[in-house]
Amino acid sequence: MVADIVVFIGLWLFHLCSLLAKEQTGIDFSTFEFSCIQHSGNSLDICQYVGYLMRNNIFTELIKSRALEKDELRPLYMDFQATTPMDPRVLDAMLPYQVNYYGNPHSRTHAYGWESESAMEKARKQVADLIAADPREIVFTSGATESNNMSIKGVARFYKAKKNHVITTQTEHKCVLDSCRVLEAEGFDITYLPVKSNGLVDLQLLEETIRPETSLVSVMTVNNEIGVMQPVEEIGRICRSRNVFFHTDAAQAVGKVPINVSDWKVDLMSISGHKIYGPKGVGALYVRRRPRVRMEPLQNGGGQERGLRSGTVPTPLAVGLGAACEIAQQELEYDHRWVSLLAKRLVQKIMSEVPDVVMNGDPEQRYPGCINLSFAYVEGESLLMALKDVALSSGSACTSASLEPSYVLRAIGTDEDLAHSSIRFGIGRFSTEAEVDFTAEKCIQQVKRLREMSPLWEMVQEGIDLKSIKWSQH
């Protein structure tokens, strides 16, 4: 009897909370309640359920992220390093293969298969032309993460008997670092090279680190957080002279800077579809044939894609990737000019009006469309929330869940407080001057407002050197 009353009161409170939450978040919790009651039958289950919600901070999670209302205006998209909108021409190329030409490209016996295969081969040629490779050297994958995993684990494991050393840098993408960590657990020796304070790899250090047991060097072409472009040609030359395979994660560089795999002496290159205005869920891996790069396949099966990546190649996605690569090749110069123009406009506007702004990464050796600025004496998350009309990011999407500042900024040696207050502006093909002006103005306005509220800023204005303060412990 008492238990029933407790349950009743509990449910009533829960109902009240859900109504309140509905107002705040726009999400209807009544279906949660109903299914919860249906599944459980006693008060214990319900208490456990509420406990689960509270432990996992589901309410706070839901309050932060919500879908836009019907008449709300959409924020501006300035996060082109996270992903890019699909070019309408790419969608136009993909649609026939989603609607009518749905055959499996590996079916050899009928027209559906033949037309699908010819589309896939055409896409392969388009991707190869962008990087000056041979079409037989391109393998379609599910994205740059899979390509990175395949190349690092595949090459390292194949040459494990004689060579067990792999070199990479500290600013690589998480998938590269995680693959290396897995290899370490298998018994490999990995060196994570430090980078200079401008984000570039020290070539002298790289040469010294290469040993006779080194099988692979992996250095990304353009960094996705700070936008620096590594000296890939020199690294390729060093690796070729020491007979070491060179893998580069070119997800952010393909279609944005001119690439020639022969000039660069690159043996493996990862390409991502959704970074070059193509579809999500597809990528490619360039695997050199002369001199042949051998690797252990990660995904076994029917032997598709030269046995390196078995599985049906998704024709619509491959066609989309091919179209995106062809468009990128045609528009490379035009887009580069436009992006450089907008980037210069944004940086000049912000830096001229707001003092104490640091641009992370080398100012010359960079891709202009990725700008990472650190605003001193302002907290990054609060600035992002204040700029909620603009879709920005502080660091890469794959690390934004944790509270720590980005490891890339830590690797280039930024101070903790500057690392916490960094924002990444991404500019792309579809950005406009109006968007850039709006972003710059809002940024300046919010930084000034947040600084006025900051006691640290007050102290700096009075001339106190913050590093000389001895903060007392409580």
Partner 1 sequence: MASCSKTQVILLYKMLIKECKKLPSYNYRTYALRRVKDGFRENLHDDNPKSLDRLLNQARESLAVIKRQASIGQMYSAQRTIVEETGVHRDI
Stretches 66-74, 121-129, 193-201, 218-226: which one binds partner 1 (CB under 8 A)? 66-74
Question: Which two three-digit tokens encode residue 430?
Answer: 């579809």
Q: Select the residue interacting with partner 1 from 71, 364, 416, 465 (CB under 8 A).
A: 71
Residue closest to 206 by CA, chosen among 166, 177, 178? 166
Indicate whether 431 belongs to the interface with partner 1 (CB under 8 A): yes
Q: Lay out the site mask for partner 1 across 432-461 (x = CB under 8 A, - = otherwise).
A: x-xx--x-------x---------------
Residue closest to 166 by CA, chosen among 143, 193, 147? 193
Residue closer to partner 1 by CB (options 333, 364) is 333
Q: Select the residue interacting with partner 1 from 23, 38, 74, 455 (CB under 8 A).
A: 74
Residue closest to 272 by CA, chosen among 256, 290, 292? 256
Smallest gap, in angstroms, from Cβ of residue 135 to partner 1?
A: 24
Smallest gap, in angstroms, from Cβ of residue 122 to partner 1?
A: 16
Residues in binding contact with partner 1, number by CB under 8 A: 25
Smallest gap, in angstroms, from Cβ of residue 389 to partner 1?
A: 5
Residue closer to partner 1 by CB (options 28, 389) is 389
Residue closest to 439 by CA, chosen among 420, 422, 426, 449? 426
SS (H, E, C) 131-171: CCCCHHHEEEECCHHHHHHHHHHHHHHHCCCCCCEEEEECC
DSSP string, 228-269: BB--HHHHHHHHHHTT-EEEEE-TTTTTTS---HHHHT-SEE
Indicate whether 89 belongs to the interface with partner 1 (CB under 8 A): yes
Q: Which residues contact 280 (CB under 8 A, 6 or more apart)?
A: 83, 143, 273, 274
| Amino acid, single-letter form, for residue 447 | V
Stretches 28-36, 98-106, 430-438, 458-466: which one binds partner 1 (CB under 8 A)? 430-438
* Marked catalytic residue, from 175, 239, 398, 443: 398
Stretches 100-108, 129-137, 218-226, 423-431: which one binds partner 1 (CB under 8 A)? 423-431
Whole-angstrom distance, CA of residue 339 vs CA of residue 22: 42
Catalytic residue check, 370: no
Indicate whether 429 belongs to the interface with partner 1 (CB under 8 A): yes
The answer to whether the beta carbons of residues 176 and 168 sit under 8 Å apart is yes
Indicate whether 91 belongs to the interface with partner 1 (CB under 8 A): yes
- Match 């407080």 to its residue by tokens: 417
Smallest gap, in angstroms, from Cβ of residue 90 to partner 1?
A: 10
Question: Cα–Cα distances in Å, from 423 out to 79, 334, 420, 426?
Answer: 10, 26, 9, 10
Q: Which residues contact 166 (CB under 8 A, 6 or more apart)?
A: 152, 156, 180, 183, 188, 189, 190, 191, 214, 215, 216, 217, 218
Q: Select the residue interacting with partner 1 from 38, 60, 65, 88 (CB under 8 A).
A: 88
Smallest gap, in angstroms, from Cβ of residue 444 to partner 1?
A: 13
Q: According to CB under 8 A, which residues from 14 to 53 bind partner 1?
A: none
Q: According to CB under 8 A, which residues from 334 to 393 bind partner 1?
A: 334, 386, 389
Indicate whether 76 belongs to the interface with partner 1 (CB under 8 A): yes
Smallest gap, in angstroms, from Cβ of residue 426 to partner 1?
A: 13
Smallest gap, in angstroms, from Cβ of residue 92 to partner 1?
A: 5
Residue closer to partner 1 by CB (options 76, 229) is 76
Question: Which two three-digit tokens encode residue 156?
Answer: 């390292």
Indicate whether 68 belongs to the interface with partner 1 (CB under 8 A): yes
Is the previous residue joined to 135 through a cis bond, with omega within 30 degrees of 0? no
Phi, psi of 437 (to 5 degrees): -65, -45
Whole-angstrom distance, CA of residue 235 vs CA of residue 217: 9
Residues labelled catalytic: 398
Q: Interface with partner 1 by CB under 8 A: which residues?
A: 68, 70-77, 85, 88-89, 91-92, 334, 386, 389, 429-432, 434-435, 438, 446
